[in-house]
Amino acid sequence: MLVLNAAQISALAPTPRLIECLRQAFRSKWFVPARQVLSLPGGVGERLLLVMPAFEPGGGGMMKLSTVFPDNPARGVPTIQGAIVVFSENGAPIAVLDGGAVTRLRTGAASALASSYLSRADSSHLLIIGTGPLASSMAAAHCTVRPVTRVTVWGRNIERAISTARTIQAVVGSGIEVLVADALEAAVGQADIISCATASTTPVLAGKWLTPGVFVDLVGSFSPAKREADDEVVLRSRIFVDTWQGALTEAGDLLDPIARGIITRQQIVGDLAELVCGSVEGRTQDEEIILFKSVGSAIEDLAVANLVVAEARAKV
């Protein structure tokens, strides 16, 4: 059985190939039950266990188990950790993968896939809001699909923002300028793409700051009780989601304003499957503000797992 750590997975899954694997996956008819979220005892804050299966029609698939421990950062440990078991067509386990690494890679790749349909083709300034483990993956993925020349990083803790900027610089290379923002409002007003990957429970992004033509990518929240963007962000935007199933059960950035009558379910234009299959149209005007809300899907995890396992086997 293959056992692959984070470094091995990253080496086997270059971002351009990841994005194309996800594009094909969202065209496929895979069996993806709703994610199960279980509360766990102990610690500070709400500890969770996420159970995410996905299987192909032929029988092969994977099961992902992820833990979410909000008090981990105080110990210097990632909030989200996990493992993925990959199964063959006859149901035999054939690989175990670092779930955190797969999550980071597929989250960035899914947003970049969405960006290829929803951001302006000339987008050159990327703003990353958040300084967690996702930040560098989001930056690398977005820079793959658009001609980004500048990445700005903002976080509440300036030291962490500086450290995150250094990590991003190492990932995207010297040809892209990476800066740390002093003021979030000013940074938002200058960005073409805004990728928000925070653990915030209340909005950090205000709609009044958005400029025409911007693409907003929200990936940090996967709970109905959490939001990264305020009401005006969703009111001003054409809205797309990664999957209908996930968005309508977990996306607090949409469920909360829908429940309060700020927007309606009908204002969500479509999901990634509909975008890649061409049944809904992405960006139609340079001036429109577009929002993509992602909560993550086992479709994405299985696509990455299939790529990584195939590449690892090919090198044996």
pTM of the model: 0.94
Residue 45's pLDDT is what?
Answer: 77
Question: What 3-state DSSP class applies to 77?
Answer: coil
Residue 75's pLDDT is what?
Answer: 86
Q: Are residue 281 and residue 309 in the same domain, yes or no? A: no
Query: Does residue 115 sit within a domain?
Result: no
Q: Are residue 248 and residue 215 in the same domain, yes or no? A: yes
User: E strands along 103-146, which residues?
Assistant: 125-129
Q: Are residue 78 and residue 174 in the same domain, yes or no? A: no
Residue 254's pLDDT is what?
Answer: 97
pLDDT in tens, the chain (316 residues): 999 999 999 999 999 999 999 999 999 989 999 889 899 988 777 899 999 999 999 889 999 999 989 888 888 888 889 999 999 999 999 999 999 999 999 999 999 999 999 999 999 999 999 998 899 999 999 999 999 999 999 999 999 999 999 999 999 999 999 999 999 999 999 999 999 999 888 999 999 999 999 999 999 888 888 899 999 999 999 999 999 999 999 999 999 999 999 999 999 999 999 999 999 999 999 999 999 999 999 999 999 999 999 999 998 7
Query: Does residue 186 sit within a domain?
Result: yes
Residue 221's pLDDT is what?
Answer: 82
- Cα distance between residue 54 and residue 35, in whole Å: 10
Q: Are residue 260 and residue 308 in the same domain, yes or no? A: no
H/E element, 240: strand 238-241
Q: How many structural domains comprise the chain? A: 2
Distance of CA 121 to the CA centre of its chain: 20
Q: Are residue 157 and residue 305 in the same domain, yes or no? A: no
In the β-sheet with 268-271, what is the strand arrangement from edge to edge?
A: 177-180, 150-154, 125-129, 193-196, 215-218, 290-293, 238-241, 268-271
Q: Are residue 269 and residue 155 in the same domain, yes or no? A: yes
**Residue 142 sits in which domain range?**
120-296
- Cα distance between residue 67 and residue 82, in whole Å: 6
Which residue, chain included where needed, has tokens 């990455």? 304
- Cα distance between residue 262 and residue 243, in whole Å: 21
Distance of CA 214 to the CA centre of its chain: 18
Q: Are residue 152 and residue 85 in the same domain, yes or no? A: no
- Cα distance between residue 207 and residue 200, in whole Å: 16
Q: Are residue 10 and residue 55 in the same domain, yes or no? A: yes
Residue 315's pLDDT is what?
Answer: 84
- The CATH number covering residue 254 comes to 3.40.50.720
Q: Are residue 242 and residue 189 in the same domain, yes or no? A: yes
Q: Answer positive or negative: Cα dihedral of 233, 110, 196, 229.
A: positive
Which tokens in the block code for residue 272?
């990634």
Q: Are 95 and 63 a contacting pair, CB within 8 Å? A: no
Query: Does residue 107 sit within a domain?
Result: no
